[in-house]
């Protein structure tokens, strides 16, 4: 993990919408296909990688999101110390990558986590997103990868009226500006 410099470091509140950047948190991309990979990830994290599309598995510390049939995205619930993230990354790397079961990539610096909460967050996203949130917003733990204002995002429905949105660092300021601009008109 590189020296982490948060690109946004702000929290904004609007009527029925709160937007905040939550960093630094651990983010790891996991890729693998065979059963041994799934078993090993489950053993290391105490979470079985979800096999159903657009779903996630969680425990009190970590969330594991389905991205594609052979790809998962791991992130921590809370802000995490650098040494803790290295420990988890190293243990996954040693058990999975080194044993050629799959790949483990620390993407903590690649993605920026933005937390949205409030009763109108889906109205806000729908202003610039082709995804149909009607079923998604009632499914706790649902995951989708889609576009918001033409920017690639991963959206995790964490709780009722609360979601975590991940955006690539280079697009994060642009998306942040768009979210804040659009929130004024919702």
Partner 1 sequence: MFLINCPYCGERDQSEFSAGGEAHIVRPKQPTELSDDEWAEFLFMRKNIKGIQFERWNHAHGCRKWFNVIRDTSNDKIHAVYKMGEEPPIK
Residues within the interface to partner 1 (CB under 8 A): 53-54, 67-69, 71, 130-132, 144-147, 152
Query: For partner 1, which is the closer residue by CB, 80 or 154?
Result: 154
Judge contact between 166 and 154, C-beta under 8 A: yes
List the structure tokens of 6: 């948060």
Query: For partner 1, which is the closer residue by CB, 76 or 144?
Result: 144
Judge contact between 17 and 182, C-beta under 8 A: no
Query: For partner 1, which is the closer residue by CB, 105 or 146?
Result: 146
Query: For partner 1, which is the closer residue by CB, 25 or 74?
Result: 74
CA distance 19 to 32: 34
Buried b / exposed e along 40-71 (16+ C-beta atoms within 10 A): bbeebbebebbeeebebbbeeebbbbbbeeeb
User: What dihedral angle (degrees, nearest 10) is formed by the CA atoms of 124, 69, 79, 169?
Assistant: -60
């Amino acid at each position: 993990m590189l020296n982490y410099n948060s690109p946004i470091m702000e929290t904004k509140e609007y009527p029925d919408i709160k937007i905040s950047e939550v960093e630094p948190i651990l983010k790891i991309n996991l890729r693998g296909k065979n059963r041994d990979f799934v078993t090993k990830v489950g053993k290391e994290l105490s979470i079985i990688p979800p096999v159903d599309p657009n779903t996630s598995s969680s425990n009190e510390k970590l969330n594991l999101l389905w991205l594609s049939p052979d790809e998962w995205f791991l992130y921590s619930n809370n802000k995490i110390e650098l040494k803790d993230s290295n420990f988890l990354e190293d243990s996954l790397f040693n058990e999975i990558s080194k044993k050629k079961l799959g790949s483990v990539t620390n993407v903590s610096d690649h993605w920026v986590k933005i937390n949205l909460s409030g009763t109108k967050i889906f109205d806000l996203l729908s202003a610039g997103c082709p995804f149909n949130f009607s079923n998604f917003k009632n499914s706790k733990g649902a995951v989708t990868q889609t576009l918001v204002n033409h920017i690639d995002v991963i959206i995790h429905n964490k709780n009722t009226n609360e979601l975590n949105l991940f955006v690539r660092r280079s697009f994060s300021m642009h998306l942040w500006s768009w979210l804040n601009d659009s929130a004024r008109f919702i």
